[in-house]
Each structure stands twice: as structure tokens, then as C-alpha cells.
Amino acid sequence: MASYYVASVRYHGTRIREKQKMMILLLFLCGTFLPVCSSHIRSIIEYIDEDGRQAVIDAADRASINFGGSGKGIVVDAGQFNFLAADLMENDIPRLRSNPHIRSVEPDVYPIFHAVPFDNSGIAEDAGGNYDNENQSSRKHKRRKLAEAIPTAVTMIQADLLSQGPDPPLVCIADSGYALGHPDLPQPPLVSGTDMELPNGRLLRWNQDISGHGTESAGMIAAIEGNGVGLRGASPGVTLHITRGLDDDKRST
């Protein structure tokens, strides 16, 4: 009986030790592969010197390895400005921010601004549904209505700190045209234009924009400020003169 008891203790002790080993192995595996389950964040990093640059590259390499290729490592290398854009693991970001060789680490936000809200059919409308988009755009985008936004680029160049003064400059845009009547863009007399006649006699109207490219360019420059629609341009209040540098298929004229 005693020998059976001793054997039983040894047996169960062995089982317990095996379970302990299994638990340790599981904890090790979880610690090894846990970073794969966390997310990577596209970030813009400004470094001070080569030590900072190398720290960013090392962190980006770790992210690329841990995420099995879904993390792209270094995405943009603007070495002349001491900037890198990279996919980083979340737990590496605080380390880089505390690194004395790193000046800043910020998320690389991908903003999607919609200057004109569209309904499901692709017909543009203003807040009251009155904007006539006929012959202005053939693109079929689903867009949601947003309050006015200030693009990151405007604040980066400190354009929001400047005023136009008593005599706003005249800006000429040679592009694919201009969607006259757009609710977030200047209207006459702040905008005028010149049509362009092609060698085959076809007339390209300055105040029509089939592709939407020229209207987008005009919005970046002069989208109206403070109207609660779309976004604020870099220089709202300027006078625009529009002509055609592109045809309706965005080919050079």
C-alpha cells in the first residue's frame, strides 16, 4: 500500500511538473508572438542626428518582421529634412519619443476631405440640396457631408495666421476648368476666366470641369473660409483667373 502511495505521488508529481512546463511554454509563446497581434501605426518621425535615424530604422525593421510584411518598414525617407515616415509598433512609439536623439513622433494621418457632399448617384449638392452639378463631374463618389475642415497643410505653412490685406492678389490657374457655382469656391466677381480654343476648333470652357481636377486645385488655394462647408483654402479671399491647361480627359492642351 505504501509503495502504491509513493508511486502515485511520483506519478501525480510528474503530471504536475509537465503541466507547469506546458504553462511556461505557453507563456513564452504568447510573449514571443503577442506583438503580431498588436497594431502598427504609420508615423512621421523627425530625428536630430544619425543615432536618432538609426533608432527609427531599427524600430521600423522590428515592425516589418513582427507583422509578417504587412508593416512596410520605412515608407518615406526625407533625409535632407531629417524626417522619416515608417510603420511602427505601438510599444516602440513611447521609446522613440523618449529617445534624446528624436525630436518628434506623430501619427501619419491620412485625411480624406470632401469639399462637396455627394449623394449616392454622384450628383453634387449643397446643404440645401440645390447645387446643380450637371456637366461638372462624371465621377460617381459616395461622400458624406462634413463641417468645414482646416487641412493640415494650411496650419503647417501657417497660412491660417495670414490675412490678404486690402488688395488680395490675383492667382491664375491653368488646369481642367472650374465648377462655377460650387458652394465652397469663390464666385464672380472674385473669379473670372478665359476659354481656350483647340487647333481643331473645339472650345474648352473655363467655367466647366468634367474631370474635377481644376476645381480641386482651386479649392486648395481659395476654398471659402467660415461657411461651414468643405474646407478652408490656403488663401481664401484671393481673386482667381481660370483658364484651361487640360482638356476634359486631363490631357495637356
Q: What is the pLDDT of residue 171?
A: 94
Cell numbers found for residue 110: 491620412
pLDDT digits (tens, 9 = 90+) for 149-189: 777 778 888 887 877 778 888 999 999 999 999 989 999 99
Neighbours of 66 (CB within 10 A): 19
Please check the confidence at residue 121 and state whether its pLDDT lies above 60: no
pLDDT digits (tens, 9 = 90+) for 33-68: 444 445 678 899 999 999 999 999 999 998 888 766
Please check the confidence at residue 241 and state whether its pLDDT lies above 50: yes
Cell numbers found for residue 197: 480654343
Q: What is the pLDDT of residue 71?
A: 53
d(CA 169, CA 173): 13
Would you say 8 and 14 are in contact if contact means Cβ atoms under 8 Å apart?
no
Cell numbers found for residue 126: 449643397
Q: What is the pLDDT of residue 57?
A: 94
Model confidence band, residue 211 (pLDDT cutoffs 50, 70, 90): confident
Query: What are 193's strand-pairing partners?
Result: 242
Average confidence (pLDDT) over 203-212? 92
In degrees and rounded to multiples of 5, residue 9 shows phi and psi of -65, -45
